[in-house]
Structure 1
Amino acid sequence: MIKIPVYLRDMCDAKHLVQAASGCEKNVDLICGRYIVDAKSMLGVFSLPTFDDVELGVEEEDEEKLRKTLESLKLIRE
């Protein structure tokens, strides 16, 4: 599993992240500290206590496609 650091400023960014993750065939996890939720679930993403220091855990097969989508949405944290 490859981790991609993401930057979520508000609920709109979270919505775009869920839409991008839903396009992946394999599981995509959103990791925030000790919390791990399904990145394809809007309810799961909104249940996170904070959007600071968040990473996406994605399988290798889906990484390139998801990374391009996130870069176009300006959600990747450098």
Structure 2
Amino acid sequence: MEKVQVLLDSIDKVREFVTIASSVDYNFDLKLGRYTIDGKSIMGIFSLDLSQPLELVGTNESDRAEIVDAFQNFIC
């Protein structure tokens, strides 16, 4: 399980993130404090405080390089 910090501080970034997340075969969770949501859920993402970095967690045994490559524009 790999973890990186991402920042989704605009509507356009959230849309782009969900589009990319939906196009890959593995699953992700986004965590903020005690809240964990599905990284492919646009409504779930909008329920979080997007002014803070979120922790992107690969739920499969995905390769860190794949996560970093796919979400390079969002990593902080």
TM-score tier, shorter chain, comes to 0.7 to 0.9
Deviations 1:15-46 (A, max 9, x none): 11111111222221011111100011111111
Provide the identity percentage: 34
Q: CA RMSD in A?
A: 1.6
CA spacing shift, 1:30–1:40, aligned 2, 3 Å: same
Runs of 4+ in 1 over 2 A off after TM superposition: 59-66
Match of 2:11 in 1: 11
SS of residue in 2 equivalent to 1:61: coil
Shift of 1:69: 2.6
**Structure 1 regions of 5+ residues with no counterpart?**
none
CA distance in 2, matches of 1:29, 1:41: 9
TM-score by length of 1: 0.80
SS at match of 2:74: coil
1:66 is displaced (CA, Å) by 3.2
Q: Which runs of 5+ in 2 are unaligned?
A: none
> Structure 2: which amino acid aligns with 1:13?
K
Q: TM-score if structure 2 supplies the norm length?
A: 0.81
Number of residue pairs aligned between Structure 1 and Structure 2: 74
